[in-house]
Structure 1
């Protein structure tokens, strides 16, 4: 496990991080909880390894100010934002008018958590100040239509954690997701986003820092959540997953196809939320993607095959023919993780 001492020694006198010194350790053993938030900011791309301490402090202050501005915009449209409460039933109708059944929106308060856990929605009611619905723009209406769906997912997310026994913490998660929904209307909110956001809300004391880490995650994975009349974004990856398994284990793929599992929908959740519900840890280190040319040159020293002589059949083919010509050669590592899980359970799947 990466210890605080080893992590601190990876910085030079200017506060620049020699990430190649610690990345393999993170990958193999994880991160000590006391430094996890700081490490995640680098792994998720909030800060570049070459940034100095002064640059990071300035950028953090700027981002916090930007988040406060975004949250203020949301508060003007719905005063539940930042109130310490969350919406769990529709706030408005599709035309922008106030939802009749809750006259201001059903909300979850501190005394209501146990009711949610038992499946009952006995919400308290309060008036809310919003602009007349005829004056609301399409973006505002769509955003407010999403609020209660965010709330329904929030009260179901990581309920086994003591952290979310607190209404304040549930509200923090709801606020972050609601603000992101406003920031990125093309994606809005989709089920599964709360799984990514939850550990960040838990780990970061400052809500703005958690938000920008979540924004970095979504910048990588937003295609997973895109939805059109023709397809859901993650279905593209499922098609690549099928192709990869057909190459690596034709017999297992043939069996899955014979029982009408060839569309690989059973792996939908795995790929959609990067094994967030299967594993007890996050896989940020495995998907670290340097953003600058200089950082890309450093990544050559991170390759596992320089340390380990052994390599798999697929990697050998990849090197021989090139990733671009291999089926799924440019696929994300999450697809290979899924295949590894299938291989571990191969005998059970075939029997």
Structure 2
């Protein structure tokens, strides 16, 4: 039996505030430049280890309504953050039993090991505790001659063993008859970029002083890039999304699946083409929201040639990771995921694509509605299903509304808009921002109903 009370005590001072500097320590030389952490554990509000444990029935069914209510009030205690995230992201069904989840977890770990073994056959450095930071092949699919230089592979001695990189490059052709050579080449071309991003990701945290931890992040991203045929790896923030999962979940396969489920929500943001970036759909949604709720501000931004809202690109791509401290960004994410929670999420994720499209949502009633997060509940009752209007979009809208007066008065060009928006770094309160986002969401939906005559779903 896990000692949840003991875990809780590890992270609590006598005054009830959090020892988060112990949980997620920052390098001493980086502390001055990091955004201030505002999040504190609050008794009676934060989901504690004890509350989490008692939310399960004897056979393992989770009272998700109780859990969501607590998270939306005060976030999740560090002792249980990783396992709670697995439910918030749809890795596990709250209606499953302990035994169901043990079996599913083992199936997923086996699947991850299989995928990782495929990758190791092509590039044996994967799983070695080291990682690549320079190209191993060029665009012509030729082995780079100086691939054994110490800039390619990070290890204890700064030297790469040539045997850890597949010099023939032929293994990749035969992993599967169905795998195209083009896919193998593109994947290998991405590996060094993943390594460069890993070195830059959360580098202020003591956790990533360990090369083994950096290699774990690289392995997960490399395997994900291999199995996601449509998206692969995109430099614009995948490592920022994956990093917390690596820190919170000790088992590498569990961290992979948590990241994989997070990407199911976010992957369209990373879909790129020669003419567009996926996040543009959310930027367009943001533009429409501001146009509806604050036409004066929207017009002002239009006049400044900022109507495409590209200044919000980074906020949406990495979910405010750069605007908040590490601790506060975790708090913000779990608030968002709890507010966006849909009890059908597990079925939609786990069923085959064609079967998932045919899943019929159960008739709404008060009991079922309480299993939705605050944000998603409003969408359901008003019939909204637009995934581009995620809570993150309304969070950006809430920031714009907070800076409304300054933007209207001081912004004479796009550079001014960027400067004013950058001032929020370290100064945002995650819970207040979410509350304001919910108010804007409600206001936007009411105006949409008035304009389009959208009829609310009847609760039966």
When normalised by structure 1's length, the TM-score is 0.86
- Residue 81 of structure 1 pairs with residue 126 of structure 2: yes
Unaligned runs of 5+ in 1: 112-122, 307-314
Cα deviation for residue 235 of structure 1 reads 0.6
1:249-264 matches, within 5 Å, as 249-264=294-309
Residue ranges of structure 2 left out of the alignment (5+ in a row): 1-45, 174-180, 348-360, 410-460
Which stretch of the first structure deviates more once superposed, 295-304 or 278-287?
Answer: 295-304
Q: 1:341 aligns with which of 385, 392, 399?
A: 399
Structure 2 contact 68–373 (Cα < 8 Å) conserved: no
Q: Deviations over 1:21-71 (max 9, x none)?
A: 120210220001111111011001110110100000000111111111111
Aligned-CA RMSD value: 2.5
Match of 1:269 in 2: 314
Any conservation in 1 of the 2:89–2:258 contact (CA below 8 Å)?
A: yes
> Residues 198 and 218 of structure 2 are in contact (CA less than 8 Å); yes or no, is this contact kept in structure 1?
yes
Determine the C-alpha separation between the residues in 1 that align with 2:239 and 2:380.
38
* Preserved contact between residue 91 and residue 148 of structure 1 (Cα < 8 Å): yes
Do structure 1's residue 231 and structure 2's residue 276 form an aligned pair?
yes
Q: Which residue, out of 146, 152, 168, partners 2:190?
A: 146
The total of aligned residue pairs comes to 327
Q: SS at 1:176's partner residue?
A: helix
Q: Which residue of 1 aligns with 2:264?
A: 219
Q: Give the Cα separation in 2 of the matches to 1:8 and 1:198.
A: 26
Question: For 2:217 and 2:108, how far apart are their aligned partners in 1?
Answer: 18
SS of the residue corresponding to residue 147 of structure 2 reads coil
Shift, 1:99, TM fit? 1.7
SS where residue 46 of structure 1 aligns? coil
Residue equivalent to 2:154: 108
1:288 to 341, 354, 371: 341
Return closer, same or farther for 1:303/1:198 CA change in 2, 3 Å cut-off.
closer
Match of 1:300 among 346, 369, 373: 369
Structure 2: distance between partners of 1:28 and 1:230:
42
Question: How far did residue 288 of structure 1 move?
Answer: 2.2
Q: Please state whether the residue corresponding to 1:6 is helix, strand or coil.
A: helix
Per the alignment, do residues 323 and 38 of structure 1 end up closer, same or farther by CA in structure 2, a change over 3 Å counting?
closer
